[in-house]
Amino acid sequence: MKRQHFTTLFTTTFVVTILSSVIFLTLPILTGCGGKQSQTEQSDKVIKFASCNLKAYEDTTKVLSQEVEKLGYKLQYTFLADNTQLNEAVERGEYLANYHQHAPYMNEFNATHKGNLAVAFEVFTDRAGLFSKKHKNLQDLPEGATITIANDPGNNFRAFVILADAGLIKLKEGVNPISITKKDIVDNPKKLKFIEVDYTMLAKALEEADAGFLYATVASEIGLEFGKDALAGERKELQAPDIIAVRKENLGSEKVRILEKAYKTDAVKQALKDTFDGKEVLLPSW
């Protein structure tokens, strides 16, 4: 409200005139506050969403935005490259949800960062397997062959299980598959050597290795198809679908329900295929 400069008042009439003016000037300001409340109500229809900056996530996020709009909401999205940053941003409440990971990775983040993230819903399965640009099958791997694997706990065990299932190594009995590490290898007849690299470097690392662990999406980026080129795939029960993650207290909220309804549409399903030129690289979870 504007400041009022009062001088000596000489008559009652002048006082009444001044008070009337104050009331008149106040009314538009009060009306303006009402306008701000309306804007707040409108902004409550905004869903803040953080997505990975890889093509499959970007393409489907853009289509998701259109589907969210059909339901009366607005998807305000940002693309980020760093997985930890994506989770921390949701933890801090900067975004309602993120889109970049599977549950094992999220669980590892929660354990190491004292996080409070939870699975809102599953979106698709990115199948994992072992690939090679030098050999046609796993049995062709020479003695001392190098195998590149992910160094994060959510993916590290996967290559060991695939190799054990193929009979190339033997693992300690009774160990939970998701807890397996190199230390659990009790027999390695071909003396396979494992090179742990950051997940983002797996595709590049395959160039020098005899074989390496890749997800179907990553393989497609270097011209390899899961169904045709994977030397071996992961057991179905160990496959980890990608998820939309939120803070636990937001599970079941209206905005999360809107997100799920918008995501699980034919339009998003088609976007998953279009990203890979019509190929079914990613398998929808609905």
pLDDT digits (tens, 9 = 90+) for 6-44: 333 334 443 334 334 443 334 333 333 333 434 544 569
* CA nearest neighbour of 253 among 66, 103, 97, 106: 97
Residues 250-268: tens digit of each pLDDT: 999 999 999 999 999 999 9
- Write the CB contacts of 155 (distance below 8 Å, at least 6 apart in sequence): 104, 105, 128, 149, 199, 213
pLDDT for residue 154: 87
Q: Quote the percentage of the chain above a pLDDT of 90.
A: 82
Q: What is the pLDDT of residue 30?
A: 32
- Measured CA to CA, the distance from residue 286 to residue 266 in angstroms comes to 10
Q: Give me the phi and psi of 207, to 5 degrees please.
A: -60, -35
225: helix, coil or strand?
coil
| 166 phi/psi in degrees, rounded to 5 | -85, -5
Token digits of residue 229: 């080129």
In this prediction, residue 18 carries a pLDDT of: 37
pLDDT at residue number 42:
57
State which amino acid sits at residue 184: D
**CB 249: neighbour CB atoms within 10 A?**
9
Which pLDDT belongs to residue 203? 96
Strands 282-284 and 232-233: unpaired
Distance CA 65, CA 50 (A): 12
| Position 84, amino acid | T
What CA–CA distance (Å, rounded) separates 87 from 247? Answer: 10
Q: Do the beta carbons of residue 127 and residue 220 sit within 8 Å? A: no
- Give the burial class of 7: count Cβ atoms within 10 A of its Cβ; 0-12 exposed, 13-18 middle, 19 or more buried: exposed
pLDDT at 153: 87
Domains, in order of start, for the chain: 45-125+240-284 (3.40.190.10), 128-238 (3.40.190.10)
Q: Going from the first residue of the chain to its last (286 residues), give the mean pLDDT of each consecutive group of 10, the final group possibly shorter.
A: 36 40 38 39 84 95 98 98 96 98 95 97 98 96 97 93 97 94 97 95 96 96 95 95 98 98 98 94 96
Cβ neighbour number for residue 8 with a 10 Å cutoff: 5
Q: Which two tokens stand for residue 171?
A: 């693992």
Q: How many CB atoms lie within 10 A of CB 10?
A: 8
Give one word for 229, left, alpha or beta, with left for phi > 0 and alpha for psi -120 to 50: alpha
Cα–Cα distance between 225 and 245 in angstroms, integer?
28
The pLDDT, as a whole number, for residue 47 is 98
pLDDT confidence of residue 12: 42
Task: Answer for the pair 178, 186: CB distance below 8 angstroms, yes or no.
Answer: no
